[in-house]
Chain A
Amino acid sequence: MNRSVADVKETAEAAKLSLNNYKPTVECIHFPDEDNESSEYKLIELDDKLLSFVKEGQTLIIRGRKNDSAVLCSDSTTYDIKQTETSNSMLMLPLSTESPTGDGDKDDNPQLEVSNCEVRHWSYVYYEVTPRRPNFDRLREMRSETPYRGSTTEDSDLIDGIYKLKDYLREVCASETEILNALKDHKAVEINGYWRSIDFDYMSRVVMHLINHVSEIDCPWSSIPADHCKECLYKLEEELIVNYVLEIFTCKSLINDIECYSLIEDVVCRWSAEYLLSASGGRFNKSEFFTSWSCSVPTGMITRDDHLDGLALIDNTTVPNSIFLFKADEMTDDPVERFKILFSLKSHWTMNQLRPYIKTLGEDDKQLLLWLHKVARSSTQPDGSKMYSSKF
Chain B
Amino acid sequence: MVQIGIRLCSTDAKPPQWTLIELQGKLDSREGSPLLGQPIGDLYTDRITGALTLIVGHHILMGKEVKLKRPMILVKRCADAEKSTDLLDTEYTVKAVIYRKFIFEGRPRPIISNVPKKL
Which residues of chain A have a CB within 8 Å of any CB of chain B? 1, 3, 8, 11-12, 14-17, 20-23, 25-35, 37, 40-48, 51, 54-55, 57-65, 70, 72, 87-95, 97, 99-102, 104-105, 119-122, 124, 126, 170-171, 173
Contact = CB atoms under 8 A, between A and B. Distances in A.
Contacts of A93: 18-19, 21
List the 5 closest pairs (A to B, CB-CB), nearest first. Answer: A101-B50, A100-B50, A62-B4, A59-B7, A27-B43
A104 B21 contact: no
Secondary structure call for the A interface? mixed
A92 B18 contact: yes
A91 B104 CA distance: 12
A40 B21 CA distance: 20
Given A41-B77, A45-B68, A59-B5, 15 more contacts: A8-B42, A28-B43, A43-B73, A45-B70, A54-B73, A59-B7, A60-B5, A61-B6, A62-B3, A88-B24, A92-B20, A92-B21, A101-B50, A122-B27, A124-B26
B39 A1 contact: yes
Contacts of B47: 20-23, 104-105
B18 A65 contact: no
B46 interface: yes
B22 A3 contact: no
Interface of B: 1-8, 14-27, 35-53, 55, 60, 65, 68, 70-77, 88, 92, 94-98, 100-102, 111, 113
A88 B26 CA distance: 7
Contacts of B38: 1, 30-31
B41 A29 contact: yes
Given A3-B39, A42-B92, A14 B111 contact: yes
Contacts of A97: 17
Contacts of B6: 44, 54, 59-62, 72
A17 B1 contact: no
B4 A58 contact: no
6 contacts: A40-B77, A58-B7, A91-B40, A92-B21, A92-B74, A102-B50
